[in-house]
Amino acid sequence: MLLQGRPLRLAQVFLIVVPAFILFGYNQAGVGPLTTLQSWVHVFPEIDTTNTAGAVKAHNSTSMGAVVASFQLGALIGALSCSFLGDWIGRRKTVFLGAIISIIGQVLQATAYQIIQFTVGRVVLGIGIGFFSAAVPVWQSECTSAKHRGQHVIVDGICICLGYVLCNWIDFGLSKASGTVQWRIPLAITFFFELVVLCSVFLLPESPRWLVHVNRIDEATTSLAAYKGVPSDAEEIRMEIAGIESSLELSSHSTGSLTEMFSKKDHDRLLYRFCLCMGLQFFQQMCGGNLISVYASTIFEQNLGMNSDLARILSSCAMTWKFLCSFIAFFAIDRLGRRVIFMISGTGMSLCMIALAITNSFDQNHAASIASALFIFLFNSFYPFGFLGGNFLYCTEVAPVHLRAAMASISTANHWLWNFVVVMVTPVALNTISYQYYIMYAVISACIPIAVYLFYPETMNRNLEAINTVFREAPSPWQIVSMARHLPQGELDTRVPKPSIDERENV
């Protein structure tokens, strides 16, 4: 391999992670800012909410929500597909397949003249991005040291934010163009990132943990040594490979299916871990993050009464501020820990949503509109701190190696399911219940710090195999959090988990 150690890890970040998650953020927010353009509603009058009123506007709002959210529906399908593809063909081939599918969807979407073709393109594009969202964090976390795993995976969230920023500023810059160029170029411009992923994926080594999982030990040793930048015969490589093998041996009774978490002999507490992942991805969507990210320009223009240009500028500035704030999480994730950033983020978002509900309750009030815009910016300070990358990271950390791809995929599919719900419902909700819509997000966000404090163990600077030990050895689920707090930290903690009484009797 031409690259070793840090240069190789950086190559993985810049050639795979950065373009994949820019595509994630860009396409998730990509249609929202375009739906008020006259060139857009002329081609797609079925979802015109700008020049309509009354019952027609209400009907078109529902249709617009369905069309915009079809991307999330496709991403849900793509993420679910990775639950078996990730372990069958590996992390690299899954990402490669995602790049091909997303290119096809991008072509269909950017060349559409009918709403049906556009919607199909959104779904196909979503499938490809769903592959990225499930496979890339798993591949990345399995190749990164415990000390830097948080920072490396939090880059995912930073790139999602960068995608939002690029989308909003490109849409604003081209809004003064003539004809359908206003929205066709913004939709097609991301071909560059898909080609980068497509051409780069096989230049990087496969995940060493997946290679051990499929019994390709020599390749796993070479891959792990390359990512760490040490010789293949180094003692630390031998020890870590042995730790991965031991962890898999203790799971040899596993069927390799998530259905085993419903077994009476759930020694690894798979159901508990699965609920942690599903709950975290639910919180990530239902805290209101995508309400702001996808429909910020709509909120500024239609709900706060600002003119089109000012709404687009403020929306773009809000996304830029969100991008800048995401760097706070980059430096905090491996210093404060996962639990602290989740609790701070949830508390802050809840307070901001309460403030938005209050300020939006005033009709045609200039001072209230300014305050509302301020709290949107403040919300974009708290949201990326904990829930724009940290959620993907945590789900890959608590999942066992033999089910890591499956758990990450299904929990990510759950992320896309609630994403779909938010994007689908928001146009209708803003048009009907208005400020009361924010109250729901305030309540859900307030539940985050409580749930994290009680149920989510700390994973910062813990070896992935050592985290598995905590779930197996804790006397009861209520003691998992406290036991993880006292777990020795460091990359070389590769203790072999103790087999359960039933397993020892079987032996």
**Interval 443-491: pLDDT, tens:** 999 999 999 999 998 888 777 777 777 888 878 778 888 888 776 665 4
At 500, is the pLDDT very low, low, confident or very high (cuts 50, 70, 90)?
A: very low
pLDDT at 496: 41
Residue 104 has pLDDT above 90, yes or no: yes
Q: How far apart, in whole angstroms, are the C-alpha atoms of residue 17 and residue 325?
A: 19
Averaged pLDDT of the chain = 82
E strand or H helix at 289:
helix 289-298
Residue of 443 and 57 predicted with greater confidence? 443
What is the average per-residue pLDDT within 158-186?
Answer: 85
Q: How far apart, in whole angstroms, are the C-alpha atoms of residue 105 and residue 456?
A: 37
Backbone phi and psi for residue 470, each to the nearest 5 degrees, phi listed first: -60, -50
pLDDT at 497: 42
What is the average per-residue pLDDT within 376-387?
Answer: 89
pLDDT at 103: 95
> How is domain 5-230+257-455 classified at the architecture level of CATH?
Up-down Bundle (1.20)
Q: How far apart, in whole angstroms, are the C-alpha atoms of residue 322 and residue 274?
A: 29
Residue 495 has pLDDT above 70, yes or no: no
What is the average per-residue pLDDT within 75-82?
Answer: 89
Q: Please tell me whether residue 400 adopts helix, strand or coil conformation.
A: coil
User: CA 431 → CA 128, 267, 303, 404, distances in Å?
Assistant: 32, 49, 8, 41
Residue of 195 and 315 predicted with greater confidence? 195
- Helix spans in 34-175 (H): 38-43, 54-88, 91-110, 115-142, 149-174
Residue 498 has pLDDT above 70, yes or no: no
Q: Which of 169-183, 255-269, 373-387, 414-428 has the highest mean pLDDT?
A: 373-387
Q: What's the pTM?
A: 0.78
Percentage above 90 pLDDT, the chain: 21
pLDDT at 236: 86
At 266, is the pLDDT very low, low, confident or very high (cuts 50, 70, 90)?
A: low
pLDDT at 345: 93
Residue 261 has pLDDT above 60, yes or no: yes
User: CA 165 → CA 22, 49, 71, 294, 362, distances in Å?
Assistant: 10, 24, 19, 11, 29
Pick from 14, 319, 330: nearest CA to 153? 330
Residue of 476 and 192 predicted with greater confidence? 192
Residue 62 has pLDDT above 50, yes or no: yes
At 504, is the pLDDT very low, low, confident or very high (cuts 50, 70, 90)?
A: very low
